[in-house]
Amino acid sequence: MTGRTWKFALVGSLVLNAFLLGGIAGGAYRWFSADHVAESVAAPRSALRFAAEALAPERRQQFLQALRQARRQGRDDALAAREARREVLEQLAAPQFDRAALDTALARAREADGEVRKRVERAVADFAESLSPRERMVFVDGLRRSGQWRDPPAAGNKAAQGAARDGAAR
């Protein structure tokens, strides 16, 4: 190889290494930046089973067992509700709209869903009855964060933007 070829190879190698080091530095910056940490924050645990998370492990197990049992007992109602919702979709997609059949399917779905909910709520009430007053307060705090009784999320920017947009539209 001539001296000129070595120069081109050296310059090419330096350029390639500069891009490689830039990529590594950019990746490291991205990895350790605050944005990366914010993206990896876990979503809030809103399922009802997390309501007893702050209780003692044996109490938490009792609650999970009560929920499992209630859901197991309500499995037939859940399947009936699912089937009724499928029927609702079929009625809505039918070429001839039959309001009476649709209302019947909706009523069956609502009733079956209500039965499942009653079982779960009864299990929650039975569990709460077995707690001491202090444990019950901890459990209530958990219910405020998880399950169907949780508090709605605080109004964020979207609500403020919506209010501003509504005011501008008037």
Domain positions in the chain are: 48-151
Is 165 a residue whose pLDDT tops 80?
no
Choosing among 2.40.128, 3.40.50, 1.10.3470, 1.20.120, the CATH entry for 48-151 is 1.20.120
Query: Between 7 and 152, whose confidence is greater?
Result: 7
pLDDT digits (tens, 9 = 90+) for 9-65: 999 999 999 999 999 998 888 888 866 555 556 666 778 888 888 889 999 999 999
Using 50, 70 and 90 to split pLDDT, how confident is the model at 151?
Answer: confident
Residue 81 has pLDDT above 90, yes or no: yes
Residue 160's CB: how many other CB atoms inside 10 A?
A: 10
Task: Evaluate the CA torsion angle 141, 144, 145, 151 in order and state its sign.
Answer: negative
